[in-house]
A and B are shown apart, each in its own frame.
Chain A
Amino acid sequence: MTDELPKTDLAADAHPAAGQPLLRIEGVAKTFGTFRAVDGVSLDIKAGEFFALLGPSGCGKTTLLRMLAGFEAPDEGRILLDGKDIAQALPHERPINMMFQNYALFPHLSVRDNIAFGLKRAGLARTEIATRVAEMVALVKLEGLEKRKPDQLSGGQRQRVALARALARRPKLLLLDEPLAALDKKLRENTQGELMELQRRLGMTFIIVTHDQEEAMTMADRIGVMKSGKLAQVAPPRELYEAPRSRWIAEFVGDINLFDGESKLRDGHRLVIGTRDAGTLVVAEPREPVGAGRFAVAIRPEKIKLSRRGPVSEAGHETTLNRLDGVIADICYLGGSTTYKVKLETGGMVQASVANSARLDVDAYSLNQHVVAWFTPDDCVVLPS
């Protein structure tokens, strides 16, 4: 949906005073009975940002979103939109719209009336409503389906109606609650691209809630990972993946090998850590200096290289590489890559992901074959245990 898009002034309202965040969440908390669903969350979101709230089910991300939309009132904290506290405002009073998880299309209204619903409430003139609806219909490519009822549409079409309906009022902030969860994989991937394209074109601010980390990684400028009602880390996708701040995040986002151990000595910018399962590992010192004590060493599977006899030794490098000997215990072919599980001589298990860069791979490893798994100190992340 790129070139043929009509010119719109949808983005007109979306730019607040420069420098100030569009949305500021300050110490927001919400308790249901004895269950603290959201526990003191603070977050700034800039205008034009595509922000993702990621977390396992029950982590409070949906509750936080519902507080932004106005369906729940926070027990503590403030929600500032353009500097105004809207925490206690009712949903229909907020310049925020939401795209609901299962779309929540009104089954008794046609596509056109669904999209026009919010515009009519805003008291726009009939002609204005008609123009805007036409604009929206074109934007999400639903031409010709205006008179259909929601139950006469496919899943993908319904998703588009929900999007058009939420965008029609030109909200300052669009909330998307698991917007793609009901679509099948192929359609989901296409729609991800379309949503990003749309958001960039309109310059609008999107907050999406998802439990699908790939979705969050693909679409968002920044991701906030939630755990037990708290924000565990807020970072751009790459930082979240390569520099997770805690062991929990490292395990939650993507696959990872973790080795628990104790720091033995410091050697310049290198730490030497003795682990139980993988022997002694040399790792790069983390940016924030750490003292002695217990650590976990984390390495992503695709950072681990496998070879039959170990890395080609180059003078000066050899000492700083980590070499782990073992045998192939399990092979999992995934198409684009293959994941090998290597049983180490030191007792542990390590996962390595190898790209299948050739169609006929004569060098593929087989079960029980002896291999060397190796990686550089910079590929490791040291996490507090």
Chain B
Amino acid sequence: MRKLSRLSRFNIASLALGLAFLYLPILILVIYSFNASRLVTVWGGWSLRWYHEFFGDRAMIEAAWMSFRVAVSSASIATLLGTLAAVALSRGEGFRGRTLFSGMLYAPLVMPEVITGLSLLLLFVALNAERGFWTVTIAHTTLTMCFVAVVVQSRLGSLDRSLEEAAMDLGCNPVRAFVAVTLPLIAPAIVAGWMLAFTLSLDDLVIASFTTGPGSATLPIRIYSEVRLGVKPEINAICTLVIGLIAGVIVIASLASKLSSSQAESAAPL
């Protein structure tokens, strides 16, 4: 029997309003980034003026470059560590300190950022570490590996365990079975985890503010200090570029995950 959707008018209205609420502000921001007028409220025709302004702003460019480097490196380390953690939690059965381990992994997901940022800074100060690129990267890795772990773990949990057992039945040892069967199947989740880690790092203001040192501001730190002084059209342009970058990452990653899932399908019967 075919499944019927029982959409009422109320359902459709709440969905439409909800999505409009989520998207309109961003849309308006993007449109206004092409406004020729300095006054944010007056439409002065289409223009790329504020993009030129941004590319002429060395401090902003440097901050953006810093953010990008931090995002790529922290996301990569976080993906590795987070995947390992997910594997340990979902396949490790019981081991000593497991409760503490899972506790440490789930807590940062909701932990107020001011606390995480402050505590990491105090650690870095105590270790006498020079604050800058590496401290921010470590801080972001700590936060984002937890997100990666959750994404990958939920995929591992929904995976049919008999696939691994079939691989072992056909002569793989557990590690080989994991690499040949499980890994290709969770690849989309790993890609999604990297993506999430990347955008979270690119996004973060609070933790970066605590853990960075003088002279190495990230893009959100710069944007924040500008925004505090009021609305500037240049910020609209930067925000649009960031949105574009993130949209690009999402598109590439979803293509990649599609590719890897079709690979996974062909790898599954190994």
Q: Which residues of A contact B (CB under 8 A)?
A: 32, 35, 37, 57-58, 62-63, 72
Contact: A62 with B2, CB < 8 Å?
no
Contacts of A32 in B (CB 8 A): 2, 4
Contact: B1 with A58, CB < 8 Å?
yes
* Residues of B in contact with A, size category: under 10
Contacts of B4 in A (CB 8 A): 32, 72
Contact: A35 with B1, CB < 8 Å?
no
Known interface pairs A37-B1, A37-B2; 8 further A-B residue pairs with C-beta atoms within 8 A, sorted by A's residue number: A32-B2, A32-B4, A35-B2, A57-B1, A58-B1, A62-B1, A63-B1, A72-B4
Contacts of A63 in B (CB 8 A): 1
Alpha-carbon distance A181/B156, docked complex (angstroms)? 33
A62: min CB distance to chain B, Å: 5
Contacts of B2 in A (CB 8 A): 32, 35, 37
Alpha-carbon distance A234/B261, docked complex (angstroms)? 50
Residues of B contacting A: mostly: loop
Alpha-carbon distance A57/B2, docked complex (angstroms)? 11
User: Can you report 10 A-B residue pairs in the complex whose CB atoms are below 8 A from each other?
Assistant: A32-B2, A32-B4, A35-B2, A37-B1, A37-B2, A57-B1, A58-B1, A62-B1, A63-B1, A72-B4
A145: min CB distance to chain B, Å: 32
Contacts of A35 in B (CB 8 A): 2
Alpha-carbon distance A57/B4, docked complex (angstroms)? 17
Q: Which residues of B contact A (CB under 8 A)?
A: 1-2, 4
Contacts of A72 in B (CB 8 A): 4
Alpha-carbon distance A72/B5, docked complex (angstroms)? 11
Contacts of A37 in B (CB 8 A): 1-2
A308: min CB distance to chain B, Å: 51
Q: For the complex of A and B, list the 4 residue pairs with the smallest distance between their C-beta atoms, beginning with the closest.
A: A62-B1, A32-B2, A63-B1, A35-B2
Alpha-carbon distance A63/B3, docked complex (angstroms)? 11
Alpha-carbon distance A58/B2, docked complex (angstroms)? 9
Alpha-carbon distance A13/B2, docked complex (angstroms)? 35
A59 and chain B: residue at smallest CB distance: B1
B147: min CB distance to chain A, Å: 31
A43: min CB distance to chain B, Å: 19
Alpha-carbon distance A72/B6, docked complex (angstroms)? 10
B1 and chain A: residue at smallest CB distance: A62
Alpha-carbon distance A58/B4, docked complex (angstroms)? 14
Contacts of A58 in B (CB 8 A): 1
B2 and chain A: residue at smallest CB distance: A32
B252: min CB distance to chain A, Å: 36
Contacts of B1 in A (CB 8 A): 37, 57-58, 62-63
Contacts of A57 in B (CB 8 A): 1
B2: min CB distance to chain A, Å: 6
Alpha-carbon distance A37/B1, docked complex (angstroms)? 9
A286: min CB distance to chain B, Å: 36
B180: min CB distance to chain A, Å: 37
Alpha-carbon distance A35/B2, docked complex (angstroms)? 10
Alpha-carbon distance A35/B4, docked complex (angstroms)? 13
B26: min CB distance to chain A, Å: 35
B6 and chain A: residue at smallest CB distance: A71
Alpha-carbon distance A32/B2, docked complex (angstroms)? 8
A88: min CB distance to chain B, Å: 16
A63 and chain B: residue at smallest CB distance: B1
Alpha-carbon distance A62/B3, docked complex (angstroms)? 12
Alpha-carbon distance A174/B38, docked complex (angstroms)? 72
Alpha-carbon distance A32/B1, docked complex (angstroms)? 10
Alpha-carbon distance A118/B1, docked complex (angstroms)? 27
A302: min CB distance to chain B, Å: 34
Alpha-carbon distance A58/B1, docked complex (angstroms)? 6
Alpha-carbon distance A57/B1, docked complex (angstroms)? 7
Alpha-carbon distance A101/B2, docked complex (angstroms)? 15
B5: min CB distance to chain A, Å: 11
A40: min CB distance to chain B, Å: 19
